[in-house]
Chains A and B, each alone.
Chain A
Amino acid sequence: MTGTRGSVRRQVRIARSAGDVWSLVGDPARIAEWFPGIESATVEGTVRTVVTGAGMPIPEEIVTNDPLQRRFQYRLKTPAIREHLSTLDVFDLGDGSCLVSYSADAEPATMALVIAGAAGAALHHLRDLMEAD
């Protein structure tokens, strides 16, 4: 941890098809629908700007948005974070359900826990949302 870089992963299994889940999480403009604490998001080209519950706009660079792999990656661009990459994957489990994984790699390490911790709660919210439909 004193090495300053950290990686944290959270995951959840959802009883909906990978395609259904990807249709929501693969649309970067819709993150506010499933990520508690993000009030809004706008996308311009490869830049997404989210506004948090504190009213703070955070610009993000979209690195990957691959519907074939069902992988979405982005980097936060704020002075508090030296380096960051978050990766969201939706894995088809072949039985009509899927596994959604969210990993955060960041320097400083503590930020990886802050981001993935919030994302973990968001995944649970996503599951509740998708399985209620």
Chain B
Amino acid sequence: MARKILLVTTDQQRYDTLGCNGSELARTPVADALAAQGINYQRAVPQSVVCMPSRSTILTGQHPSTHGVWMNGVPLPGDAPSFAEVLRTAGYRTALVGKSHFEPFFDPFVRFPDNALSATGTTPPNGSHRGFEHMELATHGAQGMLHYARWLRSEHPEALGMFYPTVDAELQVNAAGGGDTGAPQVHVNPVPRGWYHTDWVADRTIAWLDTLDPDADWFCWMSFPDPHHPWDPPESEMARVNWRDVPLPAGFIESTEQREAVIDAKPRHWRMWYDGSLISNYEAPARWVPATLTADQVREVNARNAVECELIDEALGRVLRAVDARGWAEDLDVIFTTDHGELQGDFGLLFKGPYHVDGLMRLPLIWRPAPSSAATPAVVRSPVGLVDLAPTICAIAGVDRPDWMEGHALPRSDGDGAGRVLTEWDSELFGVDVHLRTVTRDGWVCTTYLPGTVHDGSEGELYDLSDDPLQMLNRWDDPGRRAIRDDLVADLHEAQRPARNPRPDVEAPV
């Protein structure tokens, strides 16, 4: 028998929302215990800060320019490779439960297999899809055609109107505010906890595990849609955190003058979005102006986010107990991470976009190797990427790393990894183009800009993580840092891979 593998992903979760990473708000004892028993990566970096490209990187072990999902709305090509297929071929039973998002959600023609599958069952027509023989899918609420929404419509139709409508009548990401502070995408949700998607994902994961033979080798990607907005956890759980007691995050600068001075030292799309004069991407509400964000709104968003993180942790704990009950615990590897972060008040901003700073770029990543492997617990501070997950999973399964994977198995200690991580951003939306290329290396984050709608290609950002952990000071134009900047830029350019040609089209907003 080989080791069992549970890949746990959340959606849009910051590094600092786990207790083991310093959170004093969300209590996450299950993730904390995994970190204590395993390896906690303190500088895990995504290859894209939005869902579809990042999730495609996790699946393929490739950078966005290679797998082709260069922005949300671009479906992962049907011929893209998949580590799940590698495992399936090696004899693993494979499942994905929760949010996949390799293909767009906006699909009125039901052209994409994930969306079509939900109408017919949980087994893809040809026995597997992208390597998964079992798929039960969910997204952030009751809308759409995925399994969770269908289950709600069938079993609890009274719950359909309880969730926040993620898009408005214009099909834009909804800007409507709620809760006590009117913060965007905040909503009081009376849905019972047992009907919420976090518990549903855990329930369906356990149900799939219950179908397996005791000696089966299995891989399950358990993919929680939270704590991504909307911030509408079951209201019954909100007593856990009183938003009025929530401290403001260190990245939120209360002084408007100081906040805007920091933003103004960054490339100008920062200030343009903050002021509401530029909409570069679909992922944040187009009708919401970040400059209107109040301190109390940040507190309420963070309170609700913390509750969502706690619910995920408890759901994970329940799944681990189910695994234990099956007698698999000693041979179980658990990887816990997310696809990208969330600004969550940093610089007076919420949501995400072309902003390569820690809120979006520093991710929780824990690998708890199977206890039977007697791995040594460790903390790894050198940068690693989500591109490294696929080869890590292959290594756990004892199968060779395919040549098409661009990452490398995660290091077990500092000094073992590549030490350089790349991140890309490309967006083209109704005439607004933004393109970023970033390298994280040697304690620096360096971002270059390609020519676009509001950039001429000369702009950049350079942050020293050792003395500026919040990326408040852009050193791009600091003459004293010119040598390190030149070195990082040269390294970044040299490391770029040729983009998939022809470049796949955007087929939907998201």
Closest Cβ of chain A to B111, distance in Å, is 4
Q: Return chain B residues, CB-CB under 8 Å to A111.
A: 171
B111 x A53 contact (CB < 8 A): yes
B109 x A108 contact (CB < 8 A): no
Closest Cβ of chain A to B275, distance in Å, is 13
Closest Cβ of chain A to B354, distance in Å, is 15
Contact with A along B76-92 (1 / 0, CB 8 A): 00000000000000000
Is A56 an interface position by the 8 A CB rule?
yes
- Which of A37, A110, A120 is most buried by chain B, counting CB atoms within 10 A of its CB? A110
State which residues 101-129 of B face A: CB under 8 Å: 104, 106-111, 116
Is A64 an interface position by the 8 A CB rule?
no
B287 x A2 contact (CB < 8 A): yes
A10 to B145, CA, bound (A): 26
Q: Closest residue to A115 on the B side, CB-wise?
A: B108
A109 to B430, CA, bound (A): 8
Interface of B is mostly: loop
Is A24 an interface position by the 8 A CB rule?
no
Is A99 an interface position by the 8 A CB rule?
no
Q: Closest residue to B508 on the A side, CB-wise?
A: A117
Is A4 an interface position by the 8 A CB rule?
yes
A37 x B111 contact (CB < 8 A): yes
A110 x B171 contact (CB < 8 A): yes
Our pick among B73, B169, B170, B432 for the contact of A113 (Cβ within 8 Å) is B73
A36 with B111: in contact, given A1-B430, A114-B509, A117-B507 (CB under 8 Å)?
yes
B171 x A108 contact (CB < 8 A): yes
Q: Closest residue to B432 on the A side, CB-wise?
A: A1
A54 x B108 contact (CB < 8 A): yes
State which residues 408-443 of B face A: CB under 8 Å: 429-430, 432
Q: Return chain A residues, CB-CB under 8 Å to B506.
A: 113, 117
State which residues 75-120 of A face B: CB under 8 Å: 80, 108-111, 113-114, 117-118, 120
Contact with A along B131-172 (1 / 0, CB 8 A): 000000000000001000000000000000000000001111
A41 to B506, CA, bound (A): 26
A56 with B171: in contact, given A109-B430, A113-B509 (CB under 8 Å)?
no
Interface of A is mostly: mixed
Q: Return chain A residues, CB-CB under 8 Å to B107.
A: 37
Is A38 an interface position by the 8 A CB rule?
yes
Q: Return chain B residues, CB-CB under 8 Å to A120.
A: 505, 507
Is B363 an interface position by the 8 A CB rule?
no
Q: Closest residue to A78 on the B side, CB-wise?
A: B108
Is B188 an interface position by the 8 A CB rule?
no
Is A40 an interface position by the 8 A CB rule?
no
B279 x A121 contact (CB < 8 A): no
A114 to B506, CA, bound (A): 9
Q: Return chain A residues, CB-CB under 8 Å to B169.
A: 108
State which residues 60-83 of B face A: CB under 8 Å: 73
Is A6 an interface position by the 8 A CB rule?
yes
State which residues 3-54 of A face B: CB under 8 Å: 4, 6, 8, 10, 35-38, 52-54
B279 x A118 contact (CB < 8 A): no
B116 x A118 contact (CB < 8 A): no
Q: Closest residue to A81 on the B side, CB-wise?
A: B171
Closest Cβ of chain B to A117, distance in Å, is 4
- Which of A80, A109, A117, A120 is most buried by chain B, counting CB atoms within 10 A of its CB? A117
Closest Cβ of chain A to B68, distance in Å, is 14
Q: Return chain A residues, CB-CB under 8 Å to B116.
A: 53
Listed by A's residue number, 27 A-B pairs whose Cβ atoms lie within 8 Å are A1-B430, A2-B287, A4-B170, A6-B430, A37-B107, A37-B108, A52-B108, A52-B109, A53-B111, A53-B116, A54-B110, A108-B169, A108-B170, A108-B171, A109-B170, A109-B430, A110-B106, A113-B73, A113-B506, A113-B509, A114-B171, A117-B508, A118-B109, A118-B111, A118-B507, A121-B505, A121-B507
